[in-house]
Amino acid sequence: MSFSFFNQQNKSLDTEYPEKVQEQIEEFKASYKADIRKEAAIAERLTNYSYVAAAYFLGKALIGITFNPNLVTVSVVLIAMIPATRDLDGFRINFQNGKPDIDNMHKPFSVLAKLGGAGFLVYGVLDNYNNLKSATERTYEVIETQRKEFEGDKSPITMPQSTGLIISFLILIAAYYFVPKRDR
Amino acid sequence: MKKFLHKHGTVIALTLAGFFHLISHLGTQFERYQICFAPSEKAVPGCEKDIDLVVLKQLYDLSLYGEGNGSEFKREWIDIIKKSTVVRNIPASNPDIPKYSFAVLCLIIYARYNQGLKVSTLQNNYSSELEAFSTKVYEDWVHGFNERKVIFKKQEFQAEKEIAEEINKLRHKGELIHLQEVLKRSNTINEAKFDLALEEISAKKSTFTKSKSENLRDAAKADKESQKVLGMKNSDMELESTTSTKLELEEQYRWIYQLLKLPFRVLSGEQGSGKSTLERLMIRLLKDAGYHIVIVNPETNPSVWGGVQVLTDAEEINTFFESFPNTIRGRKQQAVDMGIDEDDYLDCLKDKSGLEGKVAIFLMESNTYEVHGVDPDHWANFLKQSLTNIRKWGFTVCLTAHSDNQTAVSSKLTGFSKLIDTAPRVECISSTNKDGEAVSSGKAWLKMKGVNDKEPVEVSLYNYPKSKKF
């Protein structure tokens, strides 16, 4: 969170209030700042939710549009990982004398939880895809058996349209030769 | 409406999003199509059983069935099937799920936007709300303060009123005169108490000063006794006495002035024979004469010396010895530049101080120089230079030696050791006390013509205090 509001330092040069008034003002300030902090935290959480919702929407839409599991997985993972990477802002890891020296890893558990959430989302989308695929295959089998019941041994013979076209061409050529020509 | 949305928009949007998400999962995930391979109205045998189909457009296309020829599956049925497939656009899964999830996404984004607005308005209103609040609180406080003040004043007035009434009553009864007398008496008693207190204070003051002076006297006595016991004198006291006045020697010690006028002299004698006491006396006298004192001793602690320059480090000593001939040369050149006679040069140095002015160099523990890393060449050059008449250039050197063997002082001084032998010297005479330790006898041989002087003069040594602060 980078709300510069809390970094401001307001030093008033006015005469100081009496002690009791000062106490009440300090209390008011503290409660007001706590309010702002709470609302800002909610806003931050909603930002993360909107990324997850976008990933969910994209997954569902892509299964309908292209039936390509790789594309779906990559897109969903990329978007669902954004909340986790937002926590790692300024993250740096280094090895000093064989010991890891970590900077800006303020919320390791939050990062882990968000990564877990992204993984769960991908798992759900892929599960959905697999269900659809197996259902389609079962349908195909049912339709195939039904078709065989109806047709029996007589498999459909299709007459190629090109055959008719070639025959009509041949008739045209024969007519050119055999039909007697009118004298002028 | 706008205010309502601003306040509750986030919650409403989130609730709606959750609602839409639930709705999208209410039905089956797949569209169910009933396809009959023979139209029911024609009652084709084998089509009694309808089948439920879940169809994906991408994998299977029913329109391929139209190419049958001679089978019972008739062409016109295709239209019915096609109609159902084309018109309803065969969905893979519930076609509403992406729509609902898009709605959910939009709602969450709206909720985020609304929340951001909320936060920014809170931040923008912070200063004004704080101002309003503090003004209100301060006004309340001022109001309350004034009320409290009024109540207090009222109570005060009430008390004054009651007192006045009491006094009036007493006046009526004629008891006020008595009261006044009582007041007068109490005043006189107070004054007497005050005088008494003053007297007590002055008495205490006098006793305090008395005890203070007694303490000081005791301390001075204790100091004197400790000096007697330890055989030494308070260095600080000595410092004050030495620096403030010039030392005046008695008749029997006047021989030392003769020694001080020389450019070079040697002090010799055994351990404890009084060499160092004589050195200190010479340092004192030379300092009184306006000399800058340089002590070259690699084995001493510089912090115990005061008012003199002490060289202990081998590098310092080396640079000093190395630059010494150059300094002499520089002074000669200076005399030439100023156009004065070399004998008058000493008068020019009177105004100068430090190494620029008159300098007396004391070479102590000189037989240990080479051991401590002093360059033998520089050291020998320095000795050779100092055996010349350097006094007219404002220098004087005093060499302290334990024995008469000059090669022990400098290994490279071959040929010149005779010069040192012929230099004037003082040989301190030691004697042994009851415990067999060497102590100064207070006497010395003054040999003005060197070691082999056949007419040495016996002189007495001045007992200079042990302080090294000059």
CB contact under 8 A, B98 and A143: no
Within 8 A of B127 by CB-CB distance, chain A residues are 10
The whole-number pLDDT of residue A151 equals: 63
Domain-embedded: residue A61: yes
**In a domain? residue B140:** no
The answer to whether residue A25 sits within a structural domain is yes
Report pLDDT for A128: 84
| B125 to chain A: closest CA residue | A32
Mean pLDDT of successive 10-residue stretches along chain A, which has 184 residues: 60 76 93 95 94 93 83 94 87 84 82 93 90 74 70 61 88 89 74
CB contact under 8 A, A150 and B37: yes
Residues of chain B contacting A50 with CB distance shorter than 8 Å: 105, 108-109, 112
Report the alpha-carbon distance of residue A156 to residue B69 in Å, rounded. Answer: 5
Q: In this structure, what are the phi and psi dihedrals at residue B123, rounded to the nearest 5 degrees?
A: -65, -40
Residue A68 confidence (pLDDT): 84
Q: Is there a domain that residue A100 lies in?
A: yes
Q: Which residue has the tokens 């040369």?
A: B329
**Which of the listed residues B68, B86, B109 is the one where a domain comes to its end?**
B109
Name the A residues in 87-126 with CB < 8 Å from any B CB.
none
Q: Please give the biggest Cα pair distance in chain A.
A: 130
Q: Tell me, what's the pLDDT at A184? A: 67
**Which of B115, B119, B141 has its CB closest to that of A20?**
B141
Taking CA–CA distances from B28, the nearest residue in chain A reads A132
**pLDDT at A1 (0 to 100):** 47
CA distance B45 to chain A (A): 10
Query: Is A112 a domain residue?
Result: yes
- B105·A5 Cβ contact <8 A: no
- Domain assignment present for residue A129? The answer is yes
Chain B nearest-CA distance from A13, in A, is 14
Q: Provide the terminal-to-terminal Cα distance of chain B, rounded to the nearest Å.
A: 98
pLDDT tens digits along A125-160: 999 888 777 777 776 777 677 667 766 665 555 567
Instruction: Enter the DSSP assignment of B400.
Output: E
The helix/strand/coil state of B449 is: coil
Q: Is residue A84 part of a domain?
A: yes
Asked if residue B196 is part of any domain, the answer here is no
User: What are the chain A neighbours of B138 within 8 Å (beta carbons)?
Assistant: 17-18, 21
Q: Is residue A46 part of a domain?
A: yes
What chain A residue is nearest to B68 in terms of C-alpha separation? A156
- Among the partner-chain residues A131, A136, A156, the one whose CB lies closest to the CB of B67 is A156
Containing domain of residue B285, as a range? 241-460
Chain A: residue whose CA lies nearest to B24: A60
Q: What is the pLDDT of residue B241?
A: 45
**DSSP β-bridge partners for residue B458:** B445
Work out how many domains chain A is built from and give that number: 1
Is A149's CB within 8 Å of B60's CB?
no
B338 belongs to a structural domain = yes
Please report, in tens digits, the pLDDT of each residue of chain B (470 residues total): 889 999 899 999 999 999 998 888 765 444 444 444 444 444 444 444 443 343 333 333 343 333 333 344 445 554 555 444 322 333 345 667 888 999 999 999 999 999 999 999 999 999 999 999 999 999 988 888 888 888 888 888 889 899 888 888 877 777 777 778 888 888 899 899 999 999 999 999 999 999 999 999 988 888 888 888 776 555 444 444 444 467 777 777 878 888 788 888 888 887 777 888 888 888 888 888 888 888 888 888 888 888 888 888 888 888 888 888 888 888 888 888 887 877 777 777 777 777 778 888 888 887 788 888 888 888 888 888 888 878 788 888 888 877 655 555 667 776 666 777 788 888 888 777 777 777 777 788 888 877 777 778 888 888 777 777 77
Of B54, B65, B133, the CB nearest to A139: B54
Which residue range(s) make up the domain with A51?
Answer: 16-153
How close A39 gets to chain B, by Cα (Å)?
Answer: 6
Is B455 part of a structural domain of the chain? yes
Interface test with A, best of B6, B49, B56 (most A CBs within 10 A): B56
Tell me what pLDDT residue B87 has: 27
End position of a domain, from candidates B65, B84, B109: B109
Q: Could you write out the DSSP letters of every residue in A6-45?
A: GG------SPPPPHHHHHHHHHHHHHHHHHHHHHHHHHHH
Does residue A115 lie within any of the structural domains?
Answer: yes
Could you tell me whether strands B359-363 and B51-53 are parallel, antiparallel, or unpaired per DSSP bridges?
unpaired
Q: Which residues pair with B26 in a beta bridge?
A: none
Which residue's entry shows tokens 């040594």? Answer: B461
Q: What ipTM was reported for this prediction?
A: 0.71
Residue B164 domain flag? no
| pLDDT at B68 (0 to 100) | 37
Tens-place pLDDT, residues B419-454:
777 888 888 887 777 777 777 777 888 888 777 777
In a domain, B226, yes or no: no
Q: What does the pLDDT read at residue B12?
A: 94
Q: Tell me, yes or no, if A14 comes closer than 8 A to chain B by beta carbon.
A: no
CA distance B352 to B342: 17
- Asked if the Cβ–Cβ distance from B69 to A157 is below 8 Å, we say yes
Give me B339's structure tokens: 């156009």
Is the residue at B156 inside a domain?
no
| C-alpha distance from B42 to closest chain A C-alpha (Å) | 15
Q: What pLDDT is stored for residue A43 in this prediction?
A: 95
Q: Would the CB atoms of B51 and A142 count as touching at under 8 Å?
A: yes
Inside any domain, residue B39: yes
Chain B, nearest residue to A53 by Cα: B105
Pick from B109, B132, B162: which residue ends a domain? B109
Q: What residue spans of B297-371 are helical by DSSP H?
A: 314-338, 345-348
